Amino acid sequence: MNDSLNKNLEQLTNDILASYTTLDSTQRIGETFLPTRSRIVDVLHDIRQLLFPGFFGHKELTAENIRYHVGNLLIHAGSELTRQISYCMCADRQCQTCADANACHTEAGDIAQNFLARIPTIRRALALDIQAAFDGDPAAKSTDEVIYCYPGFYAVVVYRIAHELVELEVPLMPRMMSEHAHSTTGADIHPGADIGESFFIDHATGVVVGETTQIGNNVKIYQGVTLGAKSFPKDERGRVIKGLKRHPTIEDNVTIYPNATILGGETVIGQSATVGGNAYIVESVKPGHLVIHQDHELKVLDKNKS
């Protein structure tokens, strides 16, 4: 430590400690321990191995060792999932005593077991998503390639996991999972969104799916698509009212091309409609209709004559 810093260490410490008091909402001194993002990402890795045996991990799986492998994963994932869920619950409930924390841990164990029991159901949903990606992308050489390589599919995998935890009323953790996927893939899918079967995001980058979005079956969206809110109603104190439907409904068999923006809780894109690239939509579209952007004319000029 240099001499200048050493001389001012006490004053710097006092100033920082004072800021903890004046900015109380930005510190958690003396409060319950928060979940650890890196541990939650580790849990996701374990769950992904359960979802796709033989694709991820560090050993070859055989008919002889698969039962042992799955059992070990369940024990490891279940233990860490229980621990992190209990941290989330304690933080959300602002538990103050060991008795409160113990109750949360017991409840978290039941939730973790209920989640792990849903693994076969999640696998069935993801099998349909894999096939939708393979069928919808001519560049896909195999379903293995979709599982290994496609960032849009990984975003959907994390969404399917996180959404189940939302359904089980786990606080904080589903959002931590979705933000991990967001930072990894560029696709921001809120875990509270309701997404049907055979969902495919092509390229992934820049896709935003808001919390109250409803998406039907066999929907395909491309990069840069936003399914967002048009406005945020406020209460008499000027605070945003939470819990309202703010995001659009996308019905079955809809395709939405790159950089389209669809906003509003009352906006419905009807069954089998197609939304062209760069379209900006704040009103409902009837089933079977095509929406295209025609505000600007494309011009091609000879550079040698300009």
Q: Domain extents for the chain?
A: 30-185, 193-306
Would you state the pLDDT for residue 297? 66
Residue 98 has pLDDT above 70, yes or no: no
Query: Residue 99 above 70 pLDDT?
Result: no
Q: Is the pLDDT of residue 26 over 70?
A: yes
CATH class of the region 193-306: mainly beta
**Picking from 25-34, 146-155, 250-259, which range would have the lowest pLDDT averaged per residue?**
25-34
- Provide the pLDDT for residue 71: 96
Q: Which of 50-59, 73-82, 117-126, 235-244 has the lowest mean pLDDT?
A: 235-244
Per-residue pLDDT at 255: 98
Does pLDDT of 222 surpass 80? yes
Give exposure, 250-270, as e/b (b: 16+ Cβ within 10 Å).
bbbbbbbbbbbbbbbbebbbb
**pLDDT category of residue 237 using cuts at 50, 70 and 90:** confident
pLDDT for 274 beyond 80 = yes
Residue 63 pLDDT grade (very low, low, confident, very high; cuts 50, 70, 90): very high
Q: Does domain 30-185 have CATH number 3.40.50.620?
A: no
% of the chain surpassing 90 pLDDT? 71
In the predicted model, what is the mean pLDDT of residues 27-35?
71
Closest CA to 220 of 156, 266, 300: 156
In eight-state DSSP terms, residue 241 is P
| Confidence grade of residue 236 (pLDDT, cut at 50, 70, 90) | confident
Is the model's pLDDT at 199 over the cut of 70? Answer: yes
pTM of the model as a whole: 0.89
Compute the average pLDDT of residues 77-94: 93
CA distances from 6 to 9, 19, 20 (A): 5, 20, 22
List pLDDT tens digits, range 289-302. 999 887 666 666 66
Radius of gyration of the chain (CA): 24
Range of lowest pLDDT (80-84, 100-104, 105-109, 118-122): 100-104
Structure confidence by residue, pLDDT tens digits, 105-164: 899 999 999 999 999 999 999 999 999 999 999 999 999 999 999 999 999 999 999 999
For residue 52, what pLDDT is reported? 96
**CB burial readout 193-231, b (16+ within 10 A) else e:** bebbbbbbbbbbeebbbbbbbbbbbbbbbbbbbbbbbee
Of residues 96 and 217, which shows the higher confidence score?
217
Q: Is the pLDDT of residue 1 over 60?
A: no
Lookup result for tokens 């209920």: 114
